[in-house]
Amino acid sequence: MTAQKSDAPVNPKWTRMLTGDRPTGALHLGHYVGSLKMRVELQEKIDTFVLIADLHVLTTRNANLDEIGPNIRECVLDYLAVGIDPDKSTIYLQSLVPEVLELFWLFMPLVSVPRAQRIPTLKEQVRDLKLETASMALLSYPVLQSADILMVRGDVVPVGKDQASHVELTREIARRFNQTYGEVFPEPEAPLTPVLIGTDGQAKASKSIGNVIMLSDPPDVVEKKVRAMFTDPKRIRADIPGTVEGNPVFIYHEEFNDDQDEVAGLADRYRQGKVGDVEVKTKLAAAINRFLDPIRDRREKFAAKKGLVEEIIEAGSARAREECHQTLEAAREAMGLTYFRGGDGVEVSK
Ligand code: ATP
Ligand code: MG
Protein backbone atom coordinates (compact mmCIF):
# COMPACT_ATOMS: atom_id res chain seq x y z
CA MET A 1 0.00 0.00 0.00
CA THR A 2 1.05 3.59 -0.46
CA ALA A 3 0.83 4.57 3.18
CA GLN A 4 4.00 5.01 5.17
CA LYS A 5 4.16 4.12 8.83
CA SER A 6 2.83 6.78 11.15
CA ASP A 7 5.08 8.25 13.86
CA ALA A 8 2.08 8.81 16.10
CA PRO A 9 2.04 6.81 19.34
CA VAL A 10 -0.49 3.98 19.44
CA ASN A 11 -1.97 2.94 22.77
CA PRO A 12 -2.96 -0.74 22.79
CA LYS A 13 -5.98 0.11 24.99
CA TRP A 14 -7.68 2.15 22.27
CA THR A 15 -10.68 0.48 20.70
CA ARG A 16 -12.43 3.16 18.69
CA MET A 17 -11.22 6.28 16.92
CA LEU A 18 -13.11 9.24 15.57
CA THR A 19 -11.42 11.66 13.18
CA GLY A 20 -12.76 13.85 10.44
CA ASP A 21 -12.51 16.79 8.12
CA ARG A 22 -14.57 19.80 7.21
CA PRO A 23 -15.38 19.51 3.50
CA THR A 24 -13.69 22.74 2.43
CA GLY A 25 -11.73 21.27 -0.48
CA ALA A 26 -9.50 18.45 -1.65
CA LEU A 27 -6.78 17.23 0.71
CA HIS A 28 -3.03 17.87 0.62
CA LEU A 29 0.24 16.42 1.90
CA GLY A 30 -0.31 18.20 5.23
CA HIS A 31 -3.51 16.24 5.74
CA TYR A 32 -1.65 13.08 4.81
CA VAL A 33 1.02 13.64 7.46
CA GLY A 34 -1.38 15.02 10.08
CA SER A 35 -4.23 12.55 9.84
CA LEU A 36 -4.63 10.30 6.78
CA LYS A 37 -1.51 8.24 7.44
CA MET A 38 -2.60 7.44 11.00
CA ARG A 39 -6.13 6.56 9.89
CA VAL A 40 -4.88 4.09 7.31
CA GLU A 41 -2.70 2.47 9.92
CA LEU A 42 -5.21 2.42 12.76
CA GLN A 43 -8.14 1.14 10.69
CA GLU A 44 -6.34 -2.22 10.71
CA LYS A 45 -6.35 -2.31 14.50
CA ILE A 46 -9.36 -0.44 15.88
CA ASP A 47 -12.86 0.56 14.96
CA THR A 48 -12.43 3.72 12.87
CA PHE A 49 -15.01 6.45 12.20
CA VAL A 50 -14.24 9.15 9.68
CA LEU A 51 -16.63 12.09 9.88
CA ILE A 52 -17.15 14.55 7.07
CA ALA A 53 -18.32 17.53 9.10
CA ASP A 54 -20.45 19.49 6.64
CA LEU A 55 -22.53 21.21 9.35
CA HIS A 56 -19.35 22.64 10.82
CA VAL A 57 -18.67 24.53 7.60
CA LEU A 58 -21.70 26.70 8.40
CA THR A 59 -19.99 28.04 11.53
CA THR A 60 -17.57 30.13 9.51
CA ARG A 61 -19.21 30.52 6.14
CA ASN A 62 -22.49 31.73 4.74
CA ALA A 63 -21.65 32.01 1.03
CA ASN A 64 -20.70 29.50 -1.66
CA LEU A 65 -22.41 26.74 0.26
CA ASP A 66 -23.05 24.94 -3.02
CA GLU A 67 -19.34 24.04 -2.97
CA ILE A 68 -19.83 21.76 0.03
CA GLY A 69 -21.34 18.92 -2.04
CA PRO A 70 -18.46 18.70 -4.56
CA ASN A 71 -15.96 19.10 -1.69
CA ILE A 72 -17.46 16.08 0.08
CA ARG A 73 -16.81 14.05 -3.05
CA GLU A 74 -13.19 15.29 -3.27
CA CYS A 75 -12.61 14.33 0.37
CA VAL A 76 -13.98 10.81 -0.07
CA LEU A 77 -11.92 10.28 -3.24
CA ASP A 78 -8.79 11.39 -1.37
CA TYR A 79 -9.62 9.02 1.49
CA LEU A 80 -10.02 6.08 -0.89
CA ALA A 81 -6.93 7.05 -2.84
CA VAL A 82 -4.64 6.94 0.23
CA GLY A 83 -6.10 3.62 1.35
CA ILE A 84 -8.89 4.39 3.80
CA ASP A 85 -11.02 1.34 3.23
CA PRO A 86 -14.80 1.76 3.64
CA ASP A 87 -15.01 -1.89 4.71
CA LYS A 88 -12.72 -1.12 7.64
CA SER A 89 -13.54 2.53 8.35
CA THR A 90 -17.00 4.03 8.68
CA ILE A 91 -16.94 7.11 6.45
CA TYR A 92 -20.03 9.21 7.18
CA LEU A 93 -21.62 12.59 6.63
CA GLN A 94 -22.58 14.64 9.68
CA SER A 95 -25.83 15.97 8.21
CA LEU A 96 -27.01 12.42 7.46
CA VAL A 97 -26.86 11.68 11.18
CA PRO A 98 -29.25 14.31 12.56
CA GLU A 99 -29.29 12.56 15.96
CA VAL A 100 -26.01 14.32 16.67
CA LEU A 101 -27.90 17.60 16.93
CA GLU A 102 -30.10 16.21 19.68
CA LEU A 103 -27.06 15.06 21.64
CA PHE A 104 -25.54 18.50 21.05
CA TRP A 105 -28.61 20.03 22.67
CA LEU A 106 -28.43 17.66 25.65
CA PHE A 107 -24.84 18.84 26.16
CA MET A 108 -25.54 22.57 25.84
CA PRO A 109 -26.75 23.01 29.47
CA LEU A 110 -23.49 21.46 30.69
CA VAL A 111 -21.36 24.27 29.21
CA SER A 112 -21.41 27.84 30.51
CA VAL A 113 -21.17 30.79 28.13
CA PRO A 114 -17.85 32.03 29.63
CA ARG A 115 -16.41 28.50 29.26
CA ALA A 116 -17.31 28.50 25.56
CA GLN A 117 -15.94 32.01 25.16
CA ARG A 118 -12.61 30.95 26.65
CA ILE A 119 -11.91 28.44 23.89
CA PRO A 120 -8.89 29.89 22.05
CA THR A 121 -10.03 28.94 18.54
CA LEU A 122 -13.05 31.24 18.91
CA LYS A 123 -10.95 34.41 19.17
CA GLU A 124 -8.66 33.16 16.41
CA GLN A 125 -11.54 32.52 14.04
CA VAL A 126 -13.13 35.91 14.74
CA ARG A 127 -9.76 37.55 14.09
CA ASP A 128 -8.77 35.49 11.02
CA LEU A 129 -12.17 35.74 9.36
CA LYS A 130 -12.46 39.44 10.32
CA LEU A 131 -15.87 38.89 11.87
CA GLU A 132 -17.56 41.68 13.83
CA THR A 133 -18.66 39.16 16.41
CA ALA A 134 -19.08 35.39 16.78
CA SER A 135 -22.37 33.81 15.78
CA MET A 136 -24.13 31.37 18.11
CA ALA A 137 -23.01 28.61 15.76
CA LEU A 138 -19.35 29.59 16.04
CA LEU A 139 -19.62 29.94 19.84
CA SER A 140 -21.21 26.53 20.26
CA TYR A 141 -19.29 24.73 17.53
CA PRO A 142 -16.94 22.95 20.00
CA VAL A 143 -20.05 21.58 21.75
CA LEU A 144 -21.28 20.13 18.46
CA GLN A 145 -17.82 18.71 17.91
CA SER A 146 -18.05 17.13 21.38
CA ALA A 147 -21.34 15.55 20.33
CA ASP A 148 -19.67 14.21 17.15
CA ILE A 149 -16.96 12.61 19.25
CA LEU A 150 -19.10 11.29 22.09
CA MET A 151 -21.86 10.12 19.76
CA VAL A 152 -19.72 7.20 18.60
CA ARG A 153 -18.20 6.82 22.10
CA GLY A 154 -14.67 6.79 20.72
CA ASP A 155 -11.78 6.57 23.16
CA VAL A 156 -9.23 8.20 20.87
CA VAL A 157 -9.44 11.40 18.83
CA PRO A 158 -6.12 12.31 17.23
CA VAL A 159 -6.06 16.07 16.59
CA GLY A 160 -3.78 18.90 15.61
CA LYS A 161 -2.70 21.39 18.29
CA ASP A 162 -5.37 23.81 17.08
CA GLN A 163 -8.12 21.34 17.98
CA ALA A 164 -6.79 20.15 21.35
CA SER A 165 -8.90 22.64 23.32
CA HIS A 166 -12.04 21.20 21.71
CA VAL A 167 -11.24 17.69 22.88
CA GLU A 168 -10.52 19.11 26.33
CA LEU A 169 -14.06 20.50 26.33
CA THR A 170 -15.31 17.10 25.14
CA ARG A 171 -13.64 15.43 28.11
CA GLU A 172 -15.19 17.97 30.47
CA ILE A 173 -18.64 17.39 28.98
CA ALA A 174 -18.24 13.61 29.29
CA ARG A 175 -17.11 13.97 32.90
CA ARG A 176 -19.90 16.36 33.82
CA PHE A 177 -22.54 14.26 32.10
CA ASN A 178 -21.35 11.08 33.84
CA GLN A 179 -21.24 12.79 37.25
CA THR A 180 -24.64 14.38 36.83
CA TYR A 181 -26.64 11.58 35.23
CA GLY A 182 -24.61 8.37 35.35
CA GLU A 183 -21.80 6.75 33.39
CA VAL A 184 -22.51 6.90 29.64
CA PHE A 185 -19.45 8.41 27.95
CA PRO A 186 -15.75 7.58 27.82
CA GLU A 187 -13.27 10.46 28.22
CA PRO A 188 -11.41 10.27 24.92
CA GLU A 189 -7.66 10.65 24.66
CA ALA A 190 -6.39 13.18 22.15
CA PRO A 191 -2.88 12.33 20.95
CA LEU A 192 -1.33 15.28 19.10
CA THR A 193 -0.75 14.67 15.42
CA PRO A 194 2.40 15.74 13.54
CA VAL A 195 2.39 18.94 11.49
CA LEU A 196 3.81 19.40 7.99
CA ILE A 197 5.38 22.75 7.19
CA GLY A 198 4.29 24.54 4.01
CA THR A 199 6.34 24.71 0.83
CA ASP A 200 7.02 28.37 1.72
CA GLY A 201 8.75 27.32 4.94
CA GLN A 202 6.86 30.08 6.77
CA ALA A 203 3.77 28.38 8.18
CA LYS A 204 2.12 24.98 8.33
CA ALA A 205 0.91 23.70 4.98
CA SER A 206 -2.55 25.18 4.52
CA LYS A 207 -4.94 25.40 1.58
CA SER A 208 -5.87 29.01 2.16
CA ILE A 209 -2.22 30.10 2.27
CA GLY A 210 -1.58 28.14 -0.94
CA ASN A 211 1.69 26.62 0.32
CA VAL A 212 0.51 23.07 -0.29
CA ILE A 213 1.00 20.15 -2.63
CA MET A 214 -2.39 18.52 -3.18
CA LEU A 215 -2.73 14.72 -3.23
CA SER A 216 -4.35 15.16 -6.63
CA ASP A 217 -1.76 17.53 -8.15
CA PRO A 218 -0.45 16.16 -11.46
CA PRO A 219 3.32 15.44 -11.78
CA ASP A 220 4.19 18.69 -13.58
CA VAL A 221 2.43 20.77 -10.91
CA VAL A 222 4.37 18.90 -8.21
CA GLU A 223 7.62 19.68 -10.06
CA LYS A 224 6.71 23.35 -10.34
CA LYS A 225 5.78 23.63 -6.67
CA VAL A 226 8.94 21.84 -5.54
CA ARG A 227 11.12 24.09 -7.74
CA ALA A 228 9.59 27.10 -5.98
CA MET A 229 10.04 25.65 -2.48
CA PHE A 230 11.71 27.69 0.21
CA THR A 231 15.13 26.38 1.14
CA ASP A 232 18.21 27.67 3.00
CA PRO A 233 18.17 31.39 2.02
CA LYS A 234 21.84 31.88 2.94
CA ARG A 235 22.87 29.50 0.21
CA ILE A 236 23.19 31.70 -2.85
CA ARG A 237 25.73 29.36 -4.50
CA ALA A 238 25.94 25.56 -4.60
CA ASP A 239 29.37 25.54 -2.93
CA ILE A 240 28.16 27.31 0.23
CA PRO A 241 27.52 24.81 3.08
CA GLY A 242 23.77 24.62 3.73
CA THR A 243 21.52 23.90 6.71
CA VAL A 244 19.48 20.71 6.56
CA GLU A 245 17.66 20.99 9.91
CA GLY A 246 14.33 22.79 9.55
CA ASN A 247 14.85 23.12 5.80
CA PRO A 248 11.47 22.33 4.19
CA VAL A 249 13.11 20.63 1.20
CA PHE A 250 14.78 18.14 3.53
CA ILE A 251 11.73 17.82 5.78
CA TYR A 252 9.77 16.73 2.67
CA HIS A 253 12.62 14.44 1.58
CA GLU A 254 12.54 12.71 4.96
CA GLU A 255 8.78 12.41 4.94
CA PHE A 256 8.14 11.30 1.38
CA ASN A 257 11.31 9.92 -0.19
CA ASP A 258 11.28 6.11 -0.18
CA ASP A 259 15.04 6.12 -0.76
CA GLN A 260 16.42 7.36 2.58
CA ASP A 261 19.99 6.48 1.53
CA GLU A 262 19.63 9.03 -1.23
CA VAL A 263 18.36 11.56 1.33
CA ALA A 264 21.29 10.90 3.70
CA GLY A 265 23.73 11.34 0.80
CA LEU A 266 22.09 14.58 -0.32
CA ALA A 267 22.06 15.92 3.25
CA ASP A 268 25.79 15.19 3.64
CA ARG A 269 26.69 16.89 0.40
CA TYR A 270 24.36 19.82 1.20
CA ARG A 271 26.09 20.44 4.53
CA GLN A 272 29.45 20.44 2.78
CA GLY A 273 28.34 22.67 -0.08
CA LYS A 274 28.76 19.90 -2.62
CA VAL A 275 25.34 19.74 -4.19
CA GLY A 276 23.18 22.29 -5.94
CA ASP A 277 19.58 23.06 -4.92
CA VAL A 278 18.45 22.03 -8.38
CA GLU A 279 19.57 18.44 -7.86
CA VAL A 280 18.09 18.25 -4.34
CA LYS A 281 14.78 19.59 -5.61
CA THR A 282 14.70 17.47 -8.77
CA LYS A 283 15.15 14.37 -6.62
CA LEU A 284 12.49 15.58 -4.19
CA ALA A 285 9.96 16.15 -6.98
CA ALA A 286 10.71 12.67 -8.33
CA ALA A 287 10.27 11.17 -4.85
CA ILE A 288 6.96 12.96 -4.21
CA ASN A 289 5.74 11.85 -7.63
CA ARG A 290 6.71 8.24 -6.84
CA PHE A 291 4.74 8.61 -3.62
CA LEU A 292 1.73 10.21 -5.33
CA ASP A 293 1.64 8.01 -8.45
CA PRO A 294 -0.33 5.14 -6.90
CA ILE A 295 -2.53 7.62 -5.00
CA ARG A 296 -3.39 9.47 -8.22
CA ASP A 297 -4.02 6.19 -10.05
CA ARG A 298 -6.36 4.96 -7.37
CA ARG A 299 -8.12 8.32 -7.20
CA GLU A 300 -8.76 8.25 -10.93
CA LYS A 301 -10.03 4.70 -10.79
CA PHE A 302 -12.45 5.46 -7.95
CA ALA A 303 -13.57 8.73 -9.54
CA ALA A 304 -14.62 6.82 -12.66
CA LYS A 305 -16.97 4.54 -10.71
CA LYS A 306 -20.32 6.21 -10.93
CA GLY A 307 -22.27 6.31 -7.68
CA LEU A 308 -19.42 4.86 -5.61
CA VAL A 309 -18.90 7.89 -3.37
CA GLU A 310 -22.63 8.19 -2.75
CA GLU A 311 -22.88 4.50 -1.86
CA ILE A 312 -19.99 4.75 0.60
CA ILE A 313 -21.46 7.84 2.27
CA GLU A 314 -24.91 6.30 2.51
CA ALA A 315 -23.72 2.99 3.93
CA GLY A 316 -21.32 4.66 6.39
CA SER A 317 -23.92 7.18 7.52
CA ALA A 318 -26.47 4.41 8.12
CA ARG A 319 -23.97 2.59 10.30
CA ALA A 320 -23.01 5.76 12.19
CA ARG A 321 -26.66 6.59 12.61
CA GLU A 322 -27.37 3.27 14.26
CA GLU A 323 -24.45 3.83 16.60
CA CYS A 324 -25.65 7.35 17.38
CA HIS A 325 -29.17 6.15 17.98
CA GLN A 326 -27.95 3.78 20.66
CA THR A 327 -25.81 6.44 22.34
CA LEU A 328 -28.70 8.87 22.34
CA GLU A 329 -30.98 6.27 23.88
CA ALA A 330 -28.41 5.64 26.63
CA ALA A 331 -28.09 9.39 27.26
CA ARG A 332 -31.85 9.92 27.41
CA GLU A 333 -32.25 6.93 29.68
CA ALA A 334 -29.56 8.25 32.07
CA MET A 335 -31.23 11.68 32.11
CA GLY A 336 -34.70 10.28 32.67
CA LEU A 337 -35.94 11.59 29.33
CA THR A 338 -37.79 8.41 28.49
CA TYR A 339 -41.36 9.72 28.18
CA PHE A 340 -43.07 8.80 24.95
CA ARG A 341 -40.24 6.38 24.31
CA GLY A 342 -41.47 3.20 25.89
CA GLY A 343 -39.57 3.73 29.15
CA ASP A 344 -41.16 4.47 32.52
CA GLY A 345 -43.31 7.15 30.97
CA VAL A 346 -46.21 7.08 28.55
CA GLU A 347 -45.93 4.54 25.78
CA VAL A 348 -47.14 5.68 22.38
CA SER A 349 -47.09 2.35 20.66
CA LYS A 350 -46.78 -1.30 21.49
P1 ATP B 1 -7.70 26.00 5.52
O2 ATP B 1 -6.56 26.72 4.89
O3 ATP B 1 -9.02 26.22 4.85
O4 ATP B 1 -7.71 26.18 7.02
P5 ATP B 1 -6.21 23.61 5.70
O6 ATP B 1 -5.44 23.24 4.50
O7 ATP B 1 -5.46 24.29 6.83
O8 ATP B 1 -7.44 24.46 5.24
P9 ATP B 1 -7.94 22.31 7.47
O10 ATP B 1 -9.26 21.96 6.92
O11 ATP B 1 -7.82 23.52 8.33
O12 ATP B 1 -6.91 22.34 6.26
O13 ATP B 1 -7.32 21.06 8.24
C14 ATP B 1 -8.09 20.13 8.89
C15 ATP B 1 -7.20 19.25 9.73
O16 ATP B 1 -6.20 18.66 8.89
C17 ATP B 1 -6.40 19.99 10.81
O18 ATP B 1 -7.09 20.10 12.02
C19 ATP B 1 -5.19 19.09 10.95
O20 ATP B 1 -5.48 17.98 11.78
C21 ATP B 1 -4.97 18.57 9.53
N22 ATP B 1 -3.98 19.39 8.85
C23 ATP B 1 -4.20 20.42 8.01
N24 ATP B 1 -3.05 20.94 7.58
C25 ATP B 1 -2.06 20.22 8.17
C26 ATP B 1 -0.64 20.26 8.14
N27 ATP B 1 0.03 21.16 7.42
N28 ATP B 1 0.05 19.36 8.87
C29 ATP B 1 -0.60 18.44 9.61
N30 ATP B 1 -1.93 18.35 9.70
C31 ATP B 1 -2.66 19.23 8.98
MG1 MG C 1 -6.53 25.27 8.59
pLDDT for 153:
95
What's the gap in Å between 195 CA and the centre of ligand 2? 11
What's the gap in Å between 30 CA and the centre of ligand 1? 7
Amino acid at 195: V
Whether 348 has a pLDDT exceeding 60, the answer reads no
Whether 72 is in the pocket of ligand 1, judged by its Cβ within 6 Å, is no
Whether 121 is in the pocket of ligand 1, judged by its Cβ within 6 Å, is no
What's the gap in Å between 273 CA and the centre of ligand 1? 35
Q: How far apart are CA 17 and CA 43, in angstroms?
A: 9
HSE value, Cβ hemisphere, 13 Å, CA-based, for 132 = 0
Whether 323 is in the pocket of ligand 1, judged by its Cβ within 6 Å, is no
Q: How far apart are CA 158 and CA 150, in angstroms?
A: 14
Specify the residue with its C-alpha closest to ligand 1, atom 20: 160
What digits encode the pLDDT tens for the residues 54-89?
999 999 888 899 999 999 999 999 999 999 999 999
What's the gap in Å between 208 CA and the centre of ligand 1? 10
In this structure, of 147-161, 225-239, 267-281, 331-345, the range with the lowest mean pLDDT score is 331-345
Whether 90 has a pLDDT exceeding 80, the answer reads yes
Q: Which residues pair with 214 in a beta bridge?
A: 28
Mean pLDDT over the full length of the chain: 93
Specify the residue with its C-alpha closest to ligand 1, atom 24: 30
Ligand minimally distant from the alpha carbon of residue 57: 1
Q: How far apart are CA 56 and CA 101, in angstroms?
A: 12
What digits encode the pLDDT tens for the residues 97-114?
999 999 999 999 999 999
pLDDT for 344:
55
Substitution candidate for ligand 1 out of 29, 35, 197, 217 with most atoms within 8 A of CB: 35
Whether 74 is in the pocket of ligand 1, judged by its Cβ within 6 Å, is no
Substitution candidate for ligand 1 out of 128, 149, 206, 208 with most atoms within 8 A of CB: 206
Q: Which atom of ligand 1 is nearest to the CA of 21?
A: 14
- Tell which wins on pLDDT, 345 or 123: 123
Q: How far apart are CA 301 and CA 169, in angstroms?
A: 41
Q: With bands split at pLDDT 50, 70 and 90, how would you rate the model's confidence at 4?
A: very low
Q: What is the DSSP letter of 289?
A: H
Whether 78 is in the pocket of ligand 1, judged by its Cβ within 6 Å, is no
Specify the residue with its C-alpha closest to ligand 1, atom 14: 21
Whether 60 is in the pocket of ligand 1, judged by its Cβ within 6 Å, is no
pLDDT for 7:
54
Whether 31 is in the pocket of ligand 1, judged by its Cβ within 6 Å, is yes
**C-beta separation of 258 from 191 below 8 A:** no
Whether 160 is in the pocket of ligand 1, judged by its Cβ within 6 Å, is yes
In order of their start, the domains of the chain are 16-196+307-335 (3.40.50.620), 219-303 (1.10.240.10)
Q: What residue spans of the chain are helical by DSSP H? A: 29-31, 37-42, 54-57, 68-82, 99-107, 113-117, 120-128, 136-151, 164-181, 219-227, 248-256, 260-271, 277-303, 308-335
**Model pTM score:** 0.93
Q: With bands split at pLDDT 50, 70 and 90, how would you rate the model's confidence at 343?
A: low
Specify the residue with its C-alpha closest to ligand 1, atom 10: 22
Q: With bands split at pLDDT 50, 70 and 90, how would you rate the model's confidence at 350?
A: very low
Q: How far apart are CA 4 and CA 287, in angstroms?
A: 13
Rounded mean pLDDT of 205-221?
96
Whether 266 has a pLDDT exceeding 60, the answer reads yes
Phi, psi of 20, deg, nearest 5: -175, 180
The sign one gets for the Cα dihedral 118, 122, 124, 126 is negative
pLDDT for 8:
57
What's the gap in Å between 52 CA and the centre of ligand 1? 14
Q: How far apart are CA 295 and CA 4, in angstroms?
A: 12
HSE value, Cβ hemisphere, 13 Å, CA-based, for 278 = 3
What's the gap in Å between 206 CA and the centre of ligand 2? 6
